[in-house]
Structure 1
Amino acid sequence: MTRSAKPELLAPAGDWEALVAAVQNGADAVYLGGKLYNARQGAANFDHEELQRAVDYAHIRGVKVYVTVNILLSDEELEDAARFLHFLQQAGADGVILQDLGLANLARQVLPELPLHASTQMTVHNRAGVEKLLALGFRRVVLAREMSLKEIRDIKEATGAELEVFIHGALCICYSGQCLLSSMIGGRSGNRGRCAQPCRLRYTLVDERGRPVVDSREVGEYLLSPRDLNLSGHLPDLIRAGISSFKIEGRMKRPEYVATVVRIYRNLIDRAMVEEDFYITPEEARDLAQIFNRDFTTGYFYGRPGYELMSYKRPNNRGLFLGRVVRYHPHTRRAEVALEEPLRVGDGVEVWVSRGGRVGVEVHAIWEKGRQVEQAPAGSVVEISLPREVRPQDRLFKTHDAFLMERARATFASPREVRKRPVTFHVRVRLGEPFRVRVEDDAGHSGLGTGLTPAQPAVKRPLTPEFLKEQLDRLGNTPFALKDVRCELDDNVIVPVGEINEARRQALEEMEAAIIKSARPAPPLPEDVFARRLAGARVKATGRALPAGWSPGKRPLLSIAVTDLASLEAAVSAGVDQVYFGGESFRSGPPVGEEEIRRGAEICKKHGVRFILSTPRIIHDPEMAAVERLLDLATNLPAQGVLAGNLGLIDRVARTGLPLYADLAFNVFNLRTAAYLLDQGAVQLALSPELTMEQVAALVSGGHFAAEVLVQGAVELMVSRYCALGSLLGGLAPGRNCSSPCCGRRCALKDRVGAVFPLEVDQFCRMHLFNSRDLCLVNDVHKFAEMGVAALRIDGRGRGAEYARVTVDAYRRALSLNPAGDAGELTRLRERLQQYSPAGLTRGHYYRGVE
């Protein structure tokens, strides 16, 4: 393994104790967040003073610090966020992890000295996307968790980019940055750092009539809850792939978790770099499982895992299997348990009872063979107190291991340092001169300390090298360890011991300052220079080209996205202005191929409707060739544009010469993101559905460009490489192909309150989850028109021809009405549309916003 570069071990730090735990257990770098603008607002996080302290603490110990600023930002927040980035640059942060394209664009203008890392929230999952971010000035890309090891290896070989991947911890079921589930259900946006994790709740897979199609009692109820990622046994493969940074997820986890996981991965990475026959010990595997697990998976690194990705039966820590109940003694309220793992007082256990859920307790006492003991080994039969009756063969799991937690806590709760930097002291003591000591580490950082009093002739006990070494080795609570002491020492001299200690302190303090200074990526940017740059970076998103058929001040165009030819024909006959079709299709309906695309383009041309080729928002590299064939087809038709939501398609669309329509997946939340996409050649931008009416109005008035808003249809809440239908009904698993139960079939997920979320599966076998209620803004079309919105979009994908015809007709009528005099007719149109949304209609975030 020594031929490959050693990867960085990157650890999470949600608070100060977790930071210390990560550093002291061997992390090469940590990532953490400030009090604002990061995707883990539920963590304690760090204020400005704590951030500076964290950077200095880590740098003195040879550890890098990356700060997360990985949420979408409004225009009102951007300048303040840029000032925060300036603070981080001055503090010496080694990089910032960003999601927002607009902030990234601004940062490159005003803070080119600050290294940028692309968050996994940017949904980068193909080579062209990585290349696009490198061109934008990113130093590192955190890849989507859905990528295979081969895809990652190929990107590394093709681009040479710094690539970061998650190797351990919780997984999102959706491609990060594309999830609106928490946002739409409860107003807590994952894109704004407030995800409430509704994916970890109970769901039932149902058919079109709402009938369950799997037995939840047998399968489980947590149908969107993945297992935890664990690649501990596969590190040599990841190292050979050239991955630069191995990232542990867990900024919401307690510091004991961070300490344990970092300690084990530190040992494993070091072992992988020197051992030909890599291994993980049973103790290491057990500790990883004990500290937290929802069961483990290798994710998508080795293919699509199907149902083996998921933790269907529980969404939280399951602990380590401890043993089974032998019998229960009602009179003593004790359970007799046959142990398969050691148990000690202070451990936490949970019994999975055969009837009535689970029973969890802390073990306060253990009885073995009638006597009370502090601990019992595996293989023994013991009694423990339980508050309710359990039955023979009920399973016990150890959810809290007191010894493991104590071991972890010892690494960060004590002032004594585990991680030490070796130093050499150079001492000079000359008669008549003050004591002088220079300290130096192996990297050449040094510091000088001197006494105040000239050395005197010794009366009784002169200084010796042994005595000086003893005094200088008093480094217990510092991050330094004595390597050597080299002395230039006159015979028979003495200096006060206090001066030796003070000189040592001065020298170490000066060396710490030198280490901190040298660890900085760049010198601090002066405030006045930054202020001038920021003042000169004002932006106006002026479109270089505008879509034909629309100009500022004209009524909005009416657009629709469809996935079958019948819906396209219905929409065209009802009076739609532009259609998105062809590059994405759902398996519940008829397939869409080149013939259907040609036919759709002909129908649109005949009726004067703009035909725009749609493309999937997710396109992995093995799928890119199929999409490129469609782009070539669109060029030859010709289509009037391409709807793309993928960074990896921007340059490819540009080569076709067709206009680029930026899709919802770009998360356009501010004017600077709009400006970037317009600079890339986009003629129309779909705005984020998480914006309010006021934010839409400000965006549209703030820049002269064609903006599109989603006004009708079931909002897409998720796109996932995991497919519930294939996994639960089609037998999809490692080594087993799916039987395609999705073909010609519609299913949905029903939540615990009865809301039904439709599912669709696209041509690449990715699952799309839609909102239970249709978005409907038919009453508000004139507000959008007055703002200057260019296009109103209906999402008719998978909804059929009747839905396309009725919704287009309703919006066409609404646009022709006078809102002041025809309020009743607008209400009737809304009531008509409600017939197609049995769960009711919603106005989304336009009037409520997101947290």
Structure 2
Amino acid sequence: MELLSPSGSYESFIEAVNNGANAVYLGLKSFNARKPASNFSLKEYERAREFAKRKNVKIYVTLNIDFKPNEFEKLFRVLEFLSQVGIDAVIVKDFGLIDILKRFYPNIEFHLSTQFGTSNSFGIKECKKLGATRVILARELNYEEIIVCSKEDLEIEIFAQGSMCFSFSGRCYLSSWVGGKSANRGSCQAPCRLKYSRDGEKGSFFSMKDLNLIDEIAYLKKLDIASLKIEGRLKNPKWVGDVTKIYREALEGEIDSVRKSKLSLYSGRDQATGFVKSRTDLTSDNKKEFGRYIGTIVEYKDSKFKLDREVDTLDKSLRVTNNGIFQGIILEPKLSDDKLYIFSEKEFPIGSKVYEVVVASNTKKIIPDYKFNLSLNIDNGKLKAIVSTKYGSFDLEVKIKKVVKASRGVYLSNIENILLEGISGYRLGNLEMDQDILVSKSQINNLVKDLTSNLALHIKRNRDQLPKLSEDRFSYINKKGKDWDKGIPIIFSNINTIRVLPHQIKDWAPNIDRVIIDRFDEDIDIVNNFAKRFKGEIILSIFPILFENEFLDIKNKLNSVDIKISTLEINDISQFGLAGDRFSLIGGIGFSPFNQFAADFLLKKGLKSIHISQELDKDSLKNLSDSLYSIDFTVYSRVPLFYSRVDEKNHRDGSEFKDRIGTEMVTSNYRSITSFESKEYFSIKGIDLSEMRVKNLIADLKYSSSPESDIKRIKTGDIDNYSNFNLGRRLD
């Protein structure tokens, strides 16, 4: 069984390899689901690749995000770089990237990310058809479901340690809805970790306990699992090294219960076994007390405190709390010679408890130290600066004016003192000048600003030089869509809606002759009765997340629907297997491609149309629609902000949650999943979409008690309390 460790920096990579990882996953500076991590420059990746080959360790590069339409030229260049330097596999989510790998880079293996959302064995079968060599299973599967998936002829990987998302991965819009920071593009701001109110109660209802499967290793080794993964690309090198070592010892059978218990030092949250055994008791507030208790403060004097017991050694950080309230962290504690006192500039309250912990996150911001040489030449009132770096040289020319009185100026050579100290990570090496003159302080300050800004730009352009693209790559990127026919509006409904939906819709909405029915399996008799009376087309929408037995049940119930119903809206790769000889397929919001390449790939795979992502900003939507010929877009709906398999009593159907800035959500239960939907409706009101090549406009009325009046309001724009989501701002 492979032990797969995280690396958010080169230092973490070395720690992972030296402590027993068989493989390491990491991200480059662009295009990965952990933007806040330090990540790897191209030079660092080359070094890591060479080191890994010497140690017989594999490297998997994360390209596990949704790509905007304008990002594909750079993506191609990244793939060119990886193909030249070498790569064991890339971890992907986007169908557009999958298409590119299959067309242009067939020798690069790809693993399907947990962001891809594979939750059953039927999905594994479809993933193999795509050409994947491994699937990272959704974290929500239990042991029985993992075992079924492992019997398919494809490698599977599961998470064993680290932070857990409350939301089903790859389907979370919460961070994007709140502030335009997409979890599906690596910019998640983790609003789920905040406190929410519900029925007057406040709590961290969505803050998950950390995953810890160290006690399950013996059982996991009996299963046909290819790789055991540690989450933690945002963790510091020591955390990565220590946790990797503990899991290596466990896999080798060389660990005792005391050593296992050390993992409690590596998390500020409670830990649990995740979904493998249970769907309950998986959330909690961050622990007030955690780590190894070493004593209580009884005295503070002379910048040091004394505990109520002697401490032999200190090799980890210290966390101090008082009455359960966090007081501070001492990153590198030092003992006095008599081992009675611990040095601390901060005075903590007497009675505070002190715990030995391992700080997981990178607490020190790494500032690059780029050295440069500078040559200054003055001629006819102009100063020419020649700046030399290891990434090449550039010239900078500015006007310069001598100052006559020494009392009113400084010598130009004083710039050396400023630059030797370093500005924003740029530090002077050698300075050469053809003459030294008196100038004003403001001129020196402006020159320093010009130098550092131009240095930053020059280094950014030249530090990571990606390969150029061949003509066939450019042709692929710039292909355009075909001619298209304007489509018609569609009503999206569920069982409750069609109970009140007039059967002669054309009497009040003459352009509508399609209805999509969600969760049809909740009452097939009502669906079949509606099919007999409605003259238009009925489409059955399949829920985006189905686990093994749920998928089998849906497949069986499709045999009972009226023969007139011949189209399914599918929302996950596994659901291609539901078509058989009877149903044609369209792609629903569950696929939500961000770009024309993903959409085109799915259309060519057999979908008649594809629903593009509601998360897109207007520029991306415009770029995407210019390149396609048959897309659907929802213009009015509640937005499913996230889905969860966590089973808690406060998630009952219709529960409402609100955060401190006013974001409100309403729950909706279906089988083992709770959908948390925006209470505020998404609407295109006020947004000009006249240039968009949208074929079908969808109005989601599944919560409507009066579809006729709601359709009229949508058409006239008589809508209050709505959001344009990201159509009115830039999506990160």
Contact 1:328 1:334 in 2 (8 A): no
**Is 1:37 paired with 2:31?**
yes
Paired residue for 2:357, among 400, 421, 424? Answer: 400
Query: How far apart are the structure 1 equivalents of 2:596 and 2:310?
Result: 60
Query: How far apart are the structure 1 equivalents of 2:26 and 2:85?
Result: 14
**Is 1:796 paired with 2:692?**
no
Q: Indicate the residue corresponding to 2:730 in structure 1.
A: 849
**Is 1:596 paired with 2:514?**
no
Q: Indicate the residue corresponding to 2:326 in structure 1.
A: 358
Post-superposition offset of 1:567: 6.0
Paired residue for 2:669, among 754, 761, 781? Answer: 761
Post-superposition offset of 1:199: 1.0
Paired residue for 1:644, among 570, 573, 597? Answer: 570
**Is 1:349 paired with 2:337?**
no
Q: Indicate the residue corresponding to 1:625 in structure 2.
A: 552
Contact 2:489 2:696 in 1 (8 A): yes
Query: How far apart are the structure 1 equivalents of 2:230 and 2:167?
Result: 18
Post-superposition offset of 1:35: 0.8
Residues 222-262 of structure 1, C-alpha deviation per residue, up to 9 Å, x if partnerless?
11110111111111222211110111100010001000000
Query: How far apart are the structure 1 equivalents of 2:663 and 2:147?
Result: 42
Contact 1:539 1:672 in 2 (8 A): no
Query: How far apart are the structure 2 equivalents of 1:129 and 1:800?
Result: 33
Paired residue for 2:489, among 536, 557, 570? Answer: 557
Distance 1:301 1:650, change over 3 A: same
Give the RMSD, CA atoms, in angstroms: 3.3
Which deviates the most, 690-699 or 123-132?
690-699
Q: Indicate the residue corresponding to 2:186 in structure 1.
A: 193
Query: How far apart are the structure 2 equivalents of 1:290 and 1:320?
Result: 4
Matched residue type, 2:725: G
1:348-427 superposed matches below 5 A: 348-353=318-323, 357-362=325-330, 373=340, 387=347, 389=349, 396=353, 398=355, 400=357
In structure 1, the residue corresponding to 2:730 is in which secondary structure?
A: coil
**Is 1:261 paired with 2:229?**
no
Post-superposition offset of 1:388: 5.5
Post-superposition offset of 1:711: 1.3
Q: Indicate the residue corresponding to 2:539 in structure 1.
A: 612
Distance 1:366 1:642, change over 3 A: same
Post-superposition offset of 1:640: 4.2
Q: Indicate the residue corresponding to 1:58 in structure 2.
A: 52
Query: How far apart are the structure 2 equivalents of 1:564 and 1:36?
Result: 45
In structure 2, the residue corresponding to 1:758 is in which secondary structure?
A: strand
Query: How far apart are the structure 2 equivalents of 1:245 and 1:32?
Result: 16
Contact 1:539 1:671 in 2 (8 A): no
**Is 1:674 paired with 2:581?**
no
In structure 1, the residue corresponding to 2:516 is in which secondary structure?
A: strand
Post-superposition offset of 1:46: 1.0
Q: Indicate the residue corresponding to 1:688 in structure 2.
A: 613
In structure 1, the residue corresponding to 2:666 is in which secondary structure?
A: strand
Contact 1:109 1:533 in 2 (8 A): no
Matched residue type, 1:531: S
Query: How far apart are the structure 1 equivalents of 2:613 and 2:681?
Result: 16
Contact 1:632 1:656 in 2 (8 A): no
Any gaps of 5 or more consecutive residues in structure 1?
Answer: 1-6, 207-211, 272-278, 376-382, 406-526, 544-550, 586-591, 730-740, 815-825, 835-839
Which deviates the most, 692-701 or 64-73?
692-701
**Is 1:49 paired with 2:24?**
no
1:766-777 superposed matches below 5 A: 766-777=673-684
Query: How far apart are the structure 1 equivalents of 2:289 and 2:708?
Result: 50
Post-superposition offset of 1:753: 2.5
Post-superposition offset of 1:329: 7.0
With structure 2 as the length reference, what TM-score do the two structures score? 0.78
Contact 2:587 2:611 in 1 (8 A): yes
Distance 1:577 1:788, change over 3 A: farther
Query: How far apart are the structure 2 equivalents of 1:716 and 1:320?
Result: 37
1:46-125 superposed matches below 5 A: 46-125=40-119
Paired residue for 1:809, among 709, 712, 717? Answer: 712
Residues 534-592 of structure 1, C-alpha deviation per residue, up to 9 Å, x if partnerless?
3575686879xxxxxxx93435323323352456616964534422214268xxxxxx3
Count of residues in correspondence between the two structures: 623
In structure 1, the residue corresponding to 2:207 is in which secondary structure?
A: coil
Contact 2:520 2:527 in 1 (8 A): no
Residues 249-296 of structure 1, C-alpha deviation per residue, up to 9 Å, x if partnerless?
00010001000000111111111xxxxxxx842332232111224111
Contact 2:628 2:693 in 1 (8 A): no
Post-superposition offset of 1:73: 1.0
In structure 2, the residue corresponding to 1:666 is in which secondary structure?
A: coil
In structure 2, the residue corresponding to 1:664 is in which secondary structure?
A: coil
**Is 1:579 paired with 2:515?**
yes
Contact 1:541 1:678 in 2 (8 A): no
Contact 1:541 1:703 in 2 (8 A): yes
Contact 1:189 1:195 in 2 (8 A): yes
Contact 1:541 1:674 in 2 (8 A): no
Post-superposition offset of 1:318: 5.5
Paired residue for 1:709, among 616, 626, 633? Answer: 633
Contact 2:52 2:59 in 1 (8 A): yes
Matched residue type, 1:845: N
Distance 1:222 1:197, change over 3 A: same
Residues 453-484 of structure 1, C-alpha deviation per residue, up to 9 Å, x if partnerless?
xxxxxxxxxxxxxxxxxxxxxxxxxxxxxxxx
Distance 1:785 1:536, change over 3 A: closer
**Is 1:719 paired with 2:676?**
no
Query: How far apart are the structure 1 equivalents of 2:645 and 2:504?
Result: 32
The structure number with the bigger radius of gyration is 1
Query: How far apart are the structure 2 equivalents of 1:686 and 1:795?
Result: 13
State percent identity of aligned pairs: 25
Query: How far apart are the structure 2 equivalents of 1:38 and 1:203?
Result: 29
Contact 2:288 2:326 in 1 (8 A): no
**Is 1:657 paired with 2:593?**
no
In structure 2, the residue corresponding to 1:165 is in which secondary structure?
A: strand
Query: How far apart are the structure 2 equivalents of 1:341 and 1:231?
Result: 31
Residues 163-197 of structure 1, C-alpha deviation per residue, up to 9 Å, x if partnerless?
11111001111111100111110111011111111
Any gaps of 5 or more consecutive residues in structure 2?
Answer: 362-466
**Is 1:222 paired with 2:222?**
no
Query: How far apart are the structure 2 equivalents of 1:584 and 1:374?
Result: 68
Post-superposition offset of 1:32: 0.6
Post-superposition offset of 1:319: 3.1
Distance 1:678 1:73, change over 3 A: same
Contact 2:622 2:691 in 1 (8 A): no
Q: Indicate the residue corresponding to 1:168 in structure 2.
A: 161
Query: How far apart are the structure 2 equivalents of 1:112 and 1:106?
Result: 9
Residues 718-771 of structure 1, C-alpha deviation per residue, up to 9 Å, x if partnerless?
011114xxx245xxxxxxxxxxx83xx521111122432111211x13111112
Distance 1:401 1:637, change over 3 A: closer
In structure 2, the residue corresponding to 1:665 is in which secondary structure?
A: coil
Post-superposition offset of 1:88: 0.7
Query: How far apart are the structure 1 equivalents of 2:310 and 2:668?
Result: 44
Contact 2:310 2:339 in 1 (8 A): no
Q: Indicate the residue corresponding to 1:241 in structure 2.
A: 223
Post-superposition offset of 1:776: 1.3
In structure 2, the residue corresponding to 1:235 is in which secondary structure?
A: helix
Residues 595-619 of structure 1, C-alpha deviation per residue, up to 9 Å, x if partnerless?
122123234x2xx332111111001
